A and B are shown apart, each in its own frame.
Chain A
C-alpha cells in the first residue's frame, strides 16, 4: 500500500479529441489532448463530463488506455442503454471538446519501482482489457523485462479489443504472451481456449507461486496479478488465483457491474 496517493484538488480540464480509432464494431479509442495534464500511472482512470446544450451534465469514469508519458487515451464500449458511451462511440468527432479530470486511483496500478519485478499475470474479461493494455504498453515502453501473460476472455475474435497490437506483441515482444479464450464463437481451425475461465485453465496459464508460510510477506519477485472485467469474471478469476496459492494481497481487481460504466 505504498504511497502513490493523489493529492491536491482534481480540477476539471477541457480536453480536445485528437484521434478516433475503431477497435471493434462497438468499441472506440479516443486520444485526448489535455493541456496541463499532470501525467498518470498505468492502470489509473479518469472522469469524463459531457454537457448538453440545455445544461444537462453527465459524468462517468473510464480507465486510461495509454501508458504513462503517452497522450491520454480512453477506450469506450458502447452500451446500448447507456447515455455517455453511445455519444463517445458514435457522435463525438475529432476536435470536439469534453471535460476530464484525473488521474484517479492509486491501487490498481503497475509502477515498476513500487510494484517489484515479479512476473505479471493479467486477466481481462471483455473491455476489462483497457487498463491492462496500459500496463503492457508501459512495460514495453520502459524497457522492462518483467514477463507478462495476458489471459483475455472475450466472446468472439471480432470482439477482441487491440487485436492487432496484442497479436503483434505476442509474436514480437520478448516476454509478453497473450492467451485468448473465445467463449461464444471461434473461427474455423481455432485451437485455443473456447470456454469461460475456470480453475483448470487458470492452472495452465498462470505463473506458479511458491508456497510460503501464510504469515510471511511475499517477496517483490513473486507474481503479481491484475484482474479486470465484469463482476462474475473477476470473482471467478480472483478466487481461482487464491485457490492456486496467490496471496490475496498480490491479486488486484477492478470490477464493473452490468451498469458499471455506461
Chain B
C-alpha cells in the first residue's frame, strides 16, 4: 500500500491519448538529451554501417546507405527517465532492408556506436517493420546531440535501445548486455511492462 502524499495532486490536466502513454511516463513536447559522454562527431566520409557476425558480413558507406530504400515513419518514443514524446517523424532505412543483405540465424544483436556505446536487442525486435536506422528527424538531418548522423530507432522499446551514433550490428548467438544493461538497466526494456531496471 503506497503512502498517500497529502496535498499532492495531478497538475497536468492535459488529456493524454488513451493507450499511447505507457505506465509511469509523462508526455513532453521538448526533446530532452541524455548521453553518458561527449557527443562524437564523425565525418560522413568516415562513416559506415556494418552488420558483423554472419557468414556474409555487409557494410555500407554513407553514400551507399543514402541510396538504400528509405521510409518516413511517425512513432511515439518513450525514455526510461519517464518522458514520452508522441508523433515523432523519422526518415531512415528499415532494418528489414539491412538484415536482408546478410544470411544469419543468430537470435540477438549488439548494436555498436561511435563513442563506444552498445545496446543489446533480439533480432525479432528489429524485423517486420519495427526498427530503422534513422538519419532524419522532422524533415531535417538528425542533429549530433540526438544521435546524428544516424541512430537506431526501435520505438516499441525504451529509447536507450535506440542507440545514438550507431555504426553497426554484431549478430550474436547469445544475449549479452550492452552499456546501460551492464549498469543495471533491463535487458529487454518494454515500456508497457515498465521494464526499466534489471528484475522489473
CB within 8 A of B38: which of A58, A104, A253?
A253
B34 closest partner in A (C-beta): A255
Residue-wise, chain B 33-52 has the 8 Å CB interface mask toward A (1 for contact) of 11111111000000000000
Chain B residues with CB under 8 Å of A259's CB are 28, 30, 32, 83
CB within 8 A of A105: which of B37, B115, B184?
B184
A104 close to B197 (CB less than 8 A) = yes
Interface-side segment among B2-10, B99-107, B134-142, B167-175: B2-10
B2 closest partner in A (C-beta): A51
A contact residues, range: 35 or more
CB within 8 Å for A248 and B37 given contacts A106-B184, A260-B81: yes
A4 close to B183 (CB less than 8 A) = yes
CB within 8 A of B2: which of A57, A96, A241?
A57
Chain B residues with CB under 8 Å of A49's CB are 2
Query: Most chain-A CB neighbours within 10 Å: which of B116, B182, B200?
Result: B182
A249 close to B116 (CB less than 8 A) = yes
Question: Is A86 an interface residue when CB atoms closer than 8 A count as contact?
Answer: yes
CB within 8 A of A108: which of B26, B36, B179, B182?
B36
B6 close to A83 (CB less than 8 A) = no
Distance (whole angstroms) from the CB of A101 to the closest CB of chain B: 8
Distance (whole angstroms) from the CB of B77 to the closest CB of chain A: 13
Chain B residues with CB under 8 Å of A241's CB are 38
Chain A residues with CB under 8 Å of B32's CB are 231, 255-260
Interface-side segment among A8-16, A22-30, A152-160, A207-215: A8-16
Distance (whole angstroms) from the CB of B185 to the closest CB of chain A: 8
Question: Is B190 an interface residue when CB atoms closer than 8 A count as contact?
Answer: no
Q: Is the interface of B mostly helix, strand, loop or mixed?
A: loop
B7 closest partner in A (C-beta): A91
CB within 8 A of A87: which of B7, B28, B38, B198?
B7
Question: Is B12 an interface residue when CB atoms closer than 8 A count as contact?
Answer: yes
Question: Is A53 an interface residue when CB atoms closer than 8 A count as contact?
Answer: yes
Chain B residues with CB under 8 Å of A249's CB are 37, 116
Residues of B within 8 A of A (CB): 2-12, 24, 26, 28, 30-40, 81-83, 115-116, 145, 179-180, 182-184, 197-200
* New A-B contacts (14) at CB < 8 Å, excluding given A51-B2, A59-B24, A248-B37: A51-B5, A53-B4, A96-B5, A96-B6, A107-B36, A231-B145, A238-B38, A248-B115, A253-B38, A255-B34, A257-B32, A259-B28, A259-B32, A260-B81
Top 8 closest pairs, chain A to chain B, by CB: A257-B32, A6-B184, A9-B199, A106-B183, A97-B3, A238-B38, A51-B2, A83-B11
